[in-house]
Structures are given as C-alpha cells and as structure tokens.
C-alpha cells in the first residue's frame, strides 16, 4: 500500500466516525498535540472529533537521514475524540483493518505508557500499542491540558505512520517507503532532513534563537492580554520551536533548560486560561494551579 493510500484510508475511516479531516497546522509543532485543533479543543466542554496528518518537528531527533526510524521532521497521524467514546479500543483496531492489517493475525498489545508534556502543562494516561513487539500507536486519555482538568476527557491516538508503512511495504528505512507511484518518502524528504539536521545541530544561530524566544514570548503575552487567543498561541508554538532548536544545538545547561520549559509552560497555561475565559468556561475551582 502506498503511503498516500494509507492517509486516504485513515482519513476515510475516521471521517466515517464523525471526525473533521483537518489540514495540518502551518506553524512548526513538536507533535500533533500542539495543534490548536488538539490543544485548544481538548479544553472546555464542547464535543469535538478531528483527524488528519500531523507533520511534526523535533530538531534534536534528526539523524541526517541515517537512522531508519528517527527524524527531525516526520509524519504522525493524529486523531482526537472528545469525549472519549465507549469501545474506543475496538474503534482503533478496526482502523487497522481498514489499513489491511488483521489484528487477529498479530500479537497486538496495549502496554501502559503515560504521557506528560512539561511545556504544555499536560498529562494523560494510556498505552503504547504494540504490534508484534513494534510500537505503532500512542493512545492517551488527556487528564489535564494547559494546567486545566479535561472535562470531558479527550482521547488522542497518534499513529506512527512511517513505521506502519515500513511494515506494510516490507522496507527497512522510512525513506524507502513508496509514497506515491514511483516517488519514495526519501524523494520527498531526504534533502530536507539532511539540511535541517545540519542546521539544527551545526549551523543554527543560538543567539538569534534566544533573541527570538524572548521576542516571541513577549508577543504571546501581549496578544493573550488582548484576548487574541489564536494569534497568541501561534507565538507560544514559535517559542516552543525556538526552545527545541536551542536544545538540539546543545547550548542549554540543565538549569537553563528547565527555565525555558517553565516559560513555555506558563505561556501554554495562559493560553488555556484565555481560551476558556473567552468561552465563558473558566471555572476557577477546576484548576488547582490557576
């Protein structure tokens, strides 16, 4: 199955279960969880279902394209169901059927894996899903986001699409996956990966990133005070990416790193508060840390 067919099938499957198939965000994010369609929509009481390709960036994970599994830019497939429905595990297993994987023919396991994002002030409980020993999906019931309790609880499914495709196509490197007829993932991403790996590790300008971080942080705070939640949150994401670039460059001491994490977290919490306030859903008692 071509990589793009994988996307089509997942889109179709989850659309059939009431999900909006949303286009990816156009700001750099570390994971689908940072998307406004996940982070913000997980807050508050309104039901929500969204799915779609979620390209993500983790500068420190770059390996110049050498490692078959690790990249600084990669494709996740992100599903958020709010509230988490009954029988969501079966719903997920059925999505594997849709991809041509018969769970009955494999050893599929839900192995405890709890998730926490210090920069988002978010945590959840759930599993990593193993297929014949390989981790193919993260499965998380959000308990808190932006420091606020999630009511109702959303469930987030994050497919490791590249691994699944490697498995289905029987290839050993994500770049050997056939994306479209005659076009491999490597054709699409190799140069991008190599150059960004070099940029992240060798040629990024740490002083510029520090300056940018400070500027983005100031702007995020200013916008959030003007109740401009979405623009404000974009600057939070920019802060997060600047921090990730500094981290990848290896220029942060342990303490400094903690400091940056705290600063992003404060912004994420401020965003969550502003979002809930704008919706008239800010229940002070719901947040112990507010």
Partner 1 sequence: MADLLFEIGTEELPSWYVQEGSAALARLLAERLAAAEVPAARLTAYATPRRLAVLAEGLPAASAVREDELRGPPAGVAFAEDGTPTRAALAFAEKNGVGVEALERRDTEKGSYLYARVRRGGEPTAALLPGLLAQVVKDLPAPRKMRWGTQETPFLRPIVWLLALLDDQALELEVAGVRSGTTSRGHRFLAPEPFAVESPARYVAQLQDAWVLADRAARREAVAEGLARVTADAGLEPYQDAELLDEVTDLVEWPFPVLGAFDDSYLELPEEVLATVMIRHQRFFPTRARDGRLAARFVGVSNNRVADEAVVRRGYEKVLDGRLYDARFFWRSDRRKSLSQHAWGLSGIAFQKELGSMADKTERVGVTAGLVLGALGLGADTASVVEKALPVFRADLATEMVYEFPELEGVMGRAYALAEGQPTEVADALLGGVRPRTYDDDVPATAAGAVLSLADRLDKLVGFFALGKRPSGSADPFGLRRDGLAVARVLASRGWKIPLDTLVGAALVAYADAAVPVDEQVQHEVVDFVWDRVAALLQERASVPVVRAAIRGSRSVIGAARRVELLRALTQREEFADLMALFKRAANLATKAEETAEVAPALFREAPEAPLHAALARARDGVHDLLAAAEAQLPAWDLRAGPPQALSGVGQASSEVVSLKGPLDAFLDGVLVMAEEPAVRRNRLALLNEVVTVLRLLGALEELEGIEQ
- The C-alpha atoms of residue 16 and residue 23 are separated, in whole angstroms, by 17
CA end-to-end span of the chain:
48
Written as six digits, the tokens of 186 are: 């490597």
- The C-alpha atoms of residue 235 and residue 10 are separated, in whole angstroms, by 31
Q: How far is the CB of 232 from partner 1 (least distance, A)?
A: 28
Which of 48-56, 78-86, 213-221, 279-287 is the region at the interface with partner 1 (rule: CB under 8 A)? Answer: 78-86
- How many Cβ atoms from other residues are within 10 Å of residue 213's Cβ? 21
- The C-alpha atoms of residue 193 and residue 64 are separated, in whole angstroms, by 6
**Mask: binding to partner 1, 182-201, rule CB under 8 A, as x and -?**
--------------------
Which of 29-37, 148-156, 186-194, 196-204 is the region at the interface with partner 1 (rule: CB under 8 A)? Answer: 148-156
Our finding on whether 173 is near partner 1 (CB under 8 A) is: no
Our finding on whether 104 is near partner 1 (CB under 8 A) is: yes
User: Which sign, positive or negative, has the C-alpha torsion 275, 280, 286, 288?
Assistant: positive
Our finding on whether 207 is near partner 1 (CB under 8 A) is: no
**Does an H or E element contain 78, and which?**
strand 73-82
Q: How far is the CB of 191 from partner 1 (least distance, A)?
A: 24
Q: How far is the CB of 153 from partner 1 (least distance, A)?
A: 5
Size of the site for partner 1 (CB under 8 A): 36
Q: Which of 157, 177, 182, 180 is nearest to 166 (CA)?
A: 177
Q: Which residues bind partner 1 (CB under 8 A)?
A: 68-69, 83-86, 89, 103-112, 114, 124-125, 127, 131-134, 141, 143, 150-153, 155, 167, 253-255
């Amino acid at each position: 199955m071509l990589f793009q067919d994988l996307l089509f099938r997942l889109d179709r499957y989850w659309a059939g279960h009431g999900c909006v198939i949303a286009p990816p965000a156009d700001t750099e994010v570390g994971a689908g969880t940072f998307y406004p369609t996940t982070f913000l929509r997980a807050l508050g009481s309104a039901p929500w279902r969204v799915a779609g390709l979620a390209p993500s960036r983790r500068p420190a994970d770059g390996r110049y394209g050498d490692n078959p599994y690790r990249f600084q830019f990669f494709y996740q497939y992100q599903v958020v169901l709010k509230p988490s429905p009954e029988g969501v595990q079966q719903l997920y297993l059925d999505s594997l059927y849709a991809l041509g994987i018969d769970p009955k023919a494999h050893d599929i396991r839900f192995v405890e894996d709890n998730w926490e994002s210090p920069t988002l002030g978010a945590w959840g409980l759930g599993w990593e899903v193993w297929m014949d020993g390989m981790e193919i999906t993260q499965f998380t019931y959000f308990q808190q986001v932006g420091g606020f309790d999630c009511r109702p609880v959303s469930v987030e499914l994050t497919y490791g699409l590249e691994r699944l495709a490697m498995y289905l196509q029987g290839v050993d490197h994500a770049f050997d996956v056939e994306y479209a007829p005659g076009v491999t993932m490597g054709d699409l991403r190799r140069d991008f990966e190599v150059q960004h790996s070099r940029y992240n590790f060798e040629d990024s300008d740490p002083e510029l990133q520090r300056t940018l971080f400070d500027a983005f942080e100031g702007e995020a705070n200013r916008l959030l005070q003007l109740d401009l939640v979405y623009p404000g949150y974009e600057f939070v994401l920019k802060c997060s990416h600047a921090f990730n670039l500094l981290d990848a460059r290896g220029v942060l001491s342990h303490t400094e790193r903690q400091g940056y994490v705290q600063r992003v977290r404060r912004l994420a919490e401020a965003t969550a508060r502003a979002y809930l306030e704008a919706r008239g859903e800010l229940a002070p008692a719901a947040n112990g840390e507010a």
